[in-house]
């Protein structure tokens, strides 16, 4: 199962924790360790026992400048992100719109989800300034857990093939 690399750019530690809880839930009671031990002893798990959830690798940035640098580094290392979750408001640095502009310059095909409880820019202003970024979606905070999960899976699924196991 391939890991999908996700970058969360948000100034709130709580948002990073929420995204991790939604996309990378911890199995109850160390079940994952038990399954790993079973694999070591008995070989690969039977298909019915294989984990059905998608596997995400999360990375965090707390300001736009830091996020842009992480995207650059990931591209240079040949390990690009599959998706960026980007907050609109991140004082004192770049806001989400400025960060978005710079991200699109460096990685024009990178899917980006703009996340905020407040929108400093209307969708019309974004389209007017940037054209129609097809890989751009807006998601309101607070997140609906299922909606965030499905959106991330859909946007990171290769060739548009969607499986919500």
Q: Is the pLDDT of residue 123 over 90?
A: no
Residue among 42, 5, 38, 9 at smallest CA distance from 24: 5
**CA–CA separation, 89 vs 41, rounded Å?**
50
Which DSSP letter does residue 135 get?
A: T
pLDDT level of residue 117 (50, 70, 90 thresholds): confident
Average pLDDT of the segment spanning 96-122: 87
Whether pLDDT at 165 is above 90:
no
Per-residue pLDDT band at 49 (split at 50, 70, 90): very low
Model pLDDT, residue 128: 81
Q: Is 73 exposed, middle or buried (0-12, 13-18, 19+ CB in 10 A)?
A: exposed
Mean pLDDT for 94-113 is 92
Highest mean pLDDT among 30-44, 78-92, 106-120: 78-92
Q: What is the pLDDT of residue 161?
A: 46
Top-tier CATH class for 3-160: alpha beta
Query: What is the residue whose two structure tokens read 């699924």?
Result: 157
Work out the average pLDDT over 96-102: 91
Q: Give the pLDDT of residue 127.
A: 78
Instruction: Indicate whether 157 pLDDT > 60.
Output: yes
Which DSSP state fits 30?
Answer: G
- Decide if pLDDT at 31 tops 60: no
Confidence at residue 39, expressed as pLDDT on a 0 to 100 scale: 63
Q: Has residue 28 got a pLDDT over 70?
A: no
The confidence score (pLDDT) of residue 118 equals 74
Confidence of residue 37 (pLDDT cuts 50, 70, 90): low
């Amino acid at each position: 199962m391939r890991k999908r690399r996700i970058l969360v750019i948000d100034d709130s530690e709580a948002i990073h924790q929420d995204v991790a809880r939604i996309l990378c839930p911890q199995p109850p009671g160390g079940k994952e360790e038990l399954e790993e031990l079973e694999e070591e002893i008995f070989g690969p798990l039977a298909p019915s026992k294989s984990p059905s959830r998608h596997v995400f690798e999360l990375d965090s940035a707390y300001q736009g400048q830091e996020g842009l640098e992480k995207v650059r580094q990931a591209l240079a290392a040949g390990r690009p992100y599959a998706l960026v979750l980007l907050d609109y408001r991140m004082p004192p640095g770049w806001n989400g719109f400025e960060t978005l502009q710079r991200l699109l310059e460096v990685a024009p095909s990178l899917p980006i989800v703009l996340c905020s409880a407040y929108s400093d820019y209307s969708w019309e202003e974004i389209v007017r300034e940037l054209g129609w970024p097809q890989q751009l979606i807006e998601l309101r905070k607070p997140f609906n857990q299922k909606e965030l999960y499905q959106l991330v899976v859909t946007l990171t699924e290769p060739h548009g093939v969607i499986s919500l196991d």
